[in-house]
């Protein structure tokens, strides 16, 4: 059995930047066990397995696996997947855009491809309905696990607490006042995994509004040891959750729409830039997360 496989840098237009995901075109009806074994062997934060829906144009069935388990949704692997599908002719393009959809365990989501030129495209995914989840977070315990002081939490001028937010996956959004403090975080991964297990969440997304690039709105680090990801260089779902957190806590006003740029992965020497847009739609809010991607390996997976 031979399957097409690609390695992709998501949320970067350069090799050795962004968050690497593997994308496998599943023409062979792989079993869940086979998918998990492949993801474990590849040892990337996520591997996406894509089936082409022959009954509906530009519709794809996608499953996501970390080295340890399947997850319902993955932002950076979605960006990687649709870059592969676009660059390899699986998507019907009309003009300079294409509207697609992916069916995942978290639901069916809209994905847009915006084409700038023959070499440059931006992949944008609609995330799930955003909401803050009421869970009892032991802030003192988390600070001890992260190796920071409780006085380091927050944003100057605002009264903020860590909150669990979801746009498809639940994460703690954790505000930190200073960039230097964020850079020095060294979590106890075993204890952090225990907290995530107790709260039934994926991980913790730490951020500060102090940034390296003046055009960015936050600098971020993401830790998800429970699912086998000690630190991730770019996290799409958590970026959507962060955008919602910033709006709901009145850090930024929202009239009709607002766009954000988030930095991540710099302490890993994997610089990433994630774009998030939140749109007010009557009584609801829609969140889109997107960025560029770069395919740097293509080949054949032989089973």
Catalytic positions are 46
CA distance 67 to 70: 8
Q: What phi-psi label fits residue 212: left (phi over 0), alpha (psi between -120 and 50 degrees) or beta?
A: alpha
**β-strand partners of 109:** 102
User: With contact defined as beta carbons under 8 Å apart, do 255 and 218 qualify?
Assistant: no
| Contacts (Cβ under 8 Å, ≥6 apart) of 43 | 67
DSSP letter string, 15-34? TT-SEEEEEEE--S---HHH
Q: ∠8-12-222 over CA atoms, to 5°? A: 90
CA distance 52 to 62: 9
Six-digit token string for 186: 């060294």
Count each helix (H run) and each strand (E run) in the chain, helices first: 6, 18
- Phi, psi for 143 (deg, rounded to 5): -60, -40
Of 56, 55, 1, the closest CA to residue 27 belongs to 1
CA distance 250 to 165: 15
In three-state secondary structure terms, 95 is coil
CB atoms under 10 Å from CB of 150, counted, come to 11
CA distance 174 to 60: 33
């Amino acid at each position: 059995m031979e399957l097409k496989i690609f390695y992709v840098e998501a949320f970067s237009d350069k090799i050795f930047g962004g968050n690497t995901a593997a994308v496998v075109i599943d023409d062979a009806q792989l079993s869940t066990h086979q998918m998990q074994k492949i993801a474990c062997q590849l040892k990337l934060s996520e591997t996406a397995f894509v089936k082409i829906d022959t009954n509906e144009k530009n519709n794809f069935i996608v499953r996501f696996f970390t080295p340890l388990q399947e997850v319902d949704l993955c932002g950076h692997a979605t960006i990687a997947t649709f870059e592969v599908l676009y660059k390899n002719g699986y998507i019907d393009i009309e003009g300079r855009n294409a509207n697609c959809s992916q069916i995942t365990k978290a639901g069916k989501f809209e994905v847009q491809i915006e084409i700038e030129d023959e070499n440059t495209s931006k992949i944008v995914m609609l995330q799930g309905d955003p909401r803050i989840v009421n869970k009892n977070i032991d802030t003192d315990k988390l600070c001890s696990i992260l190796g920071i002081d409780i006085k380091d939490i927050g944003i100057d001028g605002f009264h903020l607490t860590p909150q669990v937010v979801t746009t498809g996956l639940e994460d703690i959004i954790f505000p930190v006042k200073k960039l230097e403090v964020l850079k020095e975080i060294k979590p106890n991964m075993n204890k952090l995994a225990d907290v995530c297990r107790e709260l039934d969440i994926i991980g913790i997304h730490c951020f500060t509004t102090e940034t390296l690039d003046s055009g960015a709105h936050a600098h971020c680090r993401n830790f998800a040891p429970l699912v086998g990801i000690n630190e991730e260089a770019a996290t799409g779902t958590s970026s959507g959750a962060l955008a919602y957190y910033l709006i709901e806590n009145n850090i930024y006003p929202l009239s009709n729409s607002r766009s954000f740029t988030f930095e991540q992965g710099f302490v890993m020497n994997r610089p990433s830039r994630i774009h998030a847009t939140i749109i007010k739609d009557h009584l609801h809010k829609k969140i889109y997360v997107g960025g560029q991607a770069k395919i740097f390996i293509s080949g054949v997976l032989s089973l």
